[in-house]
């Protein structure tokens, strides 16, 4: 499918619909440079979430040390602290504290200790012999009964969206996650006619409610979040119009607090499909699973084009293929063969896919990291469920760490493509609602800062 021609582009600050496609303006417009957005319009800092309570045998010990340290920090801030424990934690030298930290087996307990106070955080960050930090705080997921996407903590620090300015009667759906920010769409009455999007930072407890857009008669084909420098960001929306082969591109800039629309005509009619997105520079790539191509949206040039899928030699259906990007910033395509063999292609140049060596996932599934999944009958073929196999499908791709997430049976499993190590993260116990896509929140900074200091 050739690149579409943009027939009109303009900047608008009102809520009026885009202009008719008959007018043409080919003059190149100069956009203002994206500056950091101020605090205005982000909803304030709010109240930070407290770290969740630890589990397991060492949990009581870690809770006790966290409680003592919180009293130490309170005393340092002049709030009284915990009576009867004067000097308990402050009197311990650093080497003894490190010995205590080393005796907390779960890595999540180390994360909790690093999030208690500045002294512990600096101590953990420069200490040797401690376990490596987990790469993720956890992940969000869309869950039907919940009005807001719940968070699954995997590092001992809980993140919650209860303070978002979203009506509980309506709820919100998570549509994208990138750079520790979330893009949500508000649901409820009128959501089919009006597009209401919200960008939030669950770590800093800040949010930005975007100006709503009237989308009646259009289908939303893509919603993607593009993080910028500091607090700046952009949001890209692609709409397929009621007219055949007609599309609209909307780009919201946090610096301008406004939408910029463009409209054009495609070479053929297309239907919007669900699929993952990847951002490389100013271009958003979205996998159109059933149509066998990858949509490419240039947020700077306001153009729409398509990238054909590589010749995989296998049947592609929803869940057995995904997209991501390499550490060098190249688009890559993953396919999961029935024997749990992960195939990978990298887009070296326009239209040229190069296949990389395949990876046998069965060989990487060690019992120490995946437990009984290593002995379970698993298959990527849906029909194999009739033979007693548990289904394996893609669940997500983390652009910050380059890790792939899989849904194996009722488990969420992460695969580090660099070290080729599996990590079993969480098990879904709700059999009535199977797992779908997951949206990981990367750690990225070690040690983690105390949440209410952010």
- Reported as a single tens digit per residue, the pLDDT across 250-297 is 999 999 999 999 988 877 667 778 889 999 999 999 998 767 889 999
For the ranges 97-111, 165-179, 189-203, 233-247, the lowest mean pLDDT is seen at 97-111
Q: Residue 98 belongs to what domain range?
A: 59-125
Chain-centre distance of CA 450, in angstroms? 21
For the ranges 1-10, 33-42, 60-69, 335-344, the lowest mean pLDDT is seen at 33-42
CA dist 224 and 177 (Å) reads 8
pLDDT at 359 over 50: yes
Going by pLDDT thresholds of 50, 70 and 90, the confidence category of residue 212 is very high
Q: Taking the model in full, what pTM does it have?
A: 0.76
Q: At what angle do helices 118-125 and 94-102 cross, to 10 degrees?
A: 70
Say if 252 falls within a structural domain.
no
Pick from 150, 130, 148: which is nearest to 140 by CA? 150
| Residue finishing a domain among 125, 158, 183 | 125
Helices marked H in 129-257: none
**In this predicted model, which residue has the larger pLDDT, 52 or 63?**
63
Going by pLDDT thresholds of 50, 70 and 90, the confidence category of residue 127 is low
Residue 325 pLDDT: 95
Pick from 157, 134, 137, 159: which is nearest to 148 by CA? 159
Q: Taking the alpha carbons of 390, 393, 399, 403 in that order, is the dihedral positive or negative?
A: positive
**In this predicted model, which residue has the larger pLDDT, 316 or 107?**
316
CA dist 72 and 350 (Å) reads 59
CA dist 247 and 219 (Å) reads 9
Contact 182, 174 (CB under 8 A): yes
**In this predicted model, which residue has the larger pLDDT, 235 or 217?**
235
3 state DSSP class of 241: coil
Residue 111 pLDDT: 75
Say if 95 falls within a structural domain.
yes
Beta strands in 142-257 (DSSP E): 151-153, 172-178, 181-186, 194-195, 197-201, 206-209, 213-214, 219-227, 233-240, 246-253
Contact 204, 454 (CB under 8 A): yes
What pLDDT digit, counting tens, does each position of 294-316 carry? 999 999 999 999 899 999 999 89
Residue 334 pLDDT: 97
User: Residue 290 gets which letter from DSSP?
Assistant: G
Say if 432 falls within a structural domain.
yes
Pick from 184, 98, 140: which is nearest to 398 by CA? 140
Q: Are strands 258-265 and 5-9 parallel, antiparallel or unpaired?
A: antiparallel
CA dist 285 and 187 (Å) reads 25
**In this predicted model, which residue has the larger pLDDT, 335 or 17?**
335
Q: What is the CA radius of gyration of the chain?
A: 24
For the ranges 115-129, 281-295, 367-381, the lowest mean pLDDT is seen at 115-129
Residue 89 pLDDT: 64
- For the sheet containing 172-178, what is the strand order? 172-178, 181-186, 197-201, 206-209
Total of domains in the chain:
2
Residue 94 pLDDT: 82
Say if 363 falls within a structural domain.
yes
Say if 75 falls within a structural domain.
yes
Chain-centre distance of CA 327, in angstroms? 17
Residue 156 pLDDT: 75
Q: At what angle do helices 107-114 and 118-125 cross, to 10 degrees?
A: 130
CA dist 213 and 3 (Å) reads 25
Contact 252, 259 (CB under 8 A): yes
Say if 419 falls within a structural domain.
yes
Going by pLDDT thresholds of 50, 70 and 90, the confidence category of residue 128 is low
Say if 240 falls within a structural domain.
no
At 169, list the tokens. Answer: 């009667």
pLDDT at 229 over 50: yes
| Residue finishing a domain among 86, 101, 125 | 125
CA dist 16 and 146 (Å) reads 33
* Over residues 211-240, mean pLDDT: 92
User: Residue 130 gets which letter from DSSP?
Assistant: S
Say if 147 falls within a structural domain.
no
Residue 269 pLDDT: 67
CA dist 396 and 350 (Å) reads 25
Residue 416 pLDDT: 93
| Residue finishing a domain among 103, 125, 147 | 125
Chain-centre distance of CA 100, in angstroms? 34
Q: How far apart, in Å, are the Cα atoms of 3 and each of 6, 244, 295, 301?
A: 9, 16, 10, 12
**In this predicted model, which residue has the larger pLDDT, 182 or 40?**
182
CA dist 275 and 287 (Å) reads 5
């Amino acid at each position: 499918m050739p690149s579409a021609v943009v027939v009109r582009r303009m900047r608008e600050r009102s809520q009026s619909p885009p202009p008719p496609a008959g007018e043409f303006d080919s003059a190149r417009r100069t956009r203002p440079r994206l500056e950091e957005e101020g605090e205005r319009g982000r909803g304030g800092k709010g109240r930070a979430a407290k770290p969740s309570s630890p589990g397991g045998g060492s949990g009581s010990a870690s809770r006790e040390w966290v409680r003592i340290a919180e009293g130490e920090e309170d005393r340092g801030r002049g709030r009284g602290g915990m009576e009867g424990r004067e000097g308990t934690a402050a009197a311990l030298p650093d080497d003894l504290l490190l010995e205590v930290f080393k005796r907390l087996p779960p890595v999540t307990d180390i994360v909790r200790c690093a999030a208690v106070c500045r002294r512990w955080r600096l101590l953990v960050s420069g200490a040797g012999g401690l376990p490596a930090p987990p790469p993720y705080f956890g992940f969000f997921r869309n869950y039907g009964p919940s009005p807001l996407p719940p968070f699954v903590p995997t590092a001992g620090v809980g993140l919650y969206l209860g303070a978002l300015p979203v009506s509980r009667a309506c709820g919100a759906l998570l549509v994208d996650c990138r750079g520790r920010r979330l893009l949500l769409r508000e649901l409820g009455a009128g959501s089919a006619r009006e597009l209401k999007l919200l960008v939030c930072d669950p770590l800093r407890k800040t949010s930005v409610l975007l100006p709503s857009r009237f989308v009646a008669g259009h289908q939303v084909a893509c919603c993607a979040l593009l993080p910028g420098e500091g607090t700046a960001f952009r949001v890209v929306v692609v709409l397929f119009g009621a007219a055949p082969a007609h599309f609209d591109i909307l780009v919201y800039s946090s610096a301008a607090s406004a939408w910029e629309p463009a409209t054009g005509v495609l070479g053929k009619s297309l239907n919007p499909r669900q699929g993952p997105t990847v951002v490389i520079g100013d271009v958003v790539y979205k996998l159109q699973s059933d149509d066998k191509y990858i949509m490419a949206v240039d947020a700077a040039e306001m153009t729409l084009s398509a990238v054909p899928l590589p010749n995989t030699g296998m049947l592609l259906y929803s869940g057995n293929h995904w997209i991501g990007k390499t550490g060098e910033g190249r688009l890559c395509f993953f396919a999961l063969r029935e024997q749990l063999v992960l195939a990978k292609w990298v887009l070296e140049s326009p239209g040229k896919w190069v296949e990389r060596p395949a990876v046998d996932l069965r060989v990487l599934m060690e019992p120490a990291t995946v437990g009984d999944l290593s002995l379970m009958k698993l298959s990527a073929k849906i029909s194999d469920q009739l033979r007693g196999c548990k289904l394996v499908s893609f669940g997500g791709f983390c652009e910050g760490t380059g890790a792939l997430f899989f849904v194996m049976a009722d488990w969420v499993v992460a695969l580090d493509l660099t070290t080729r190590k599996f990590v079993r993260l969480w098990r879904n116990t709700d059999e009535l609602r199977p797992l779908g896509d997951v949206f990981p929140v990367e750690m990225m900074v070690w040690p983690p800062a105390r949440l209410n200091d952010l």
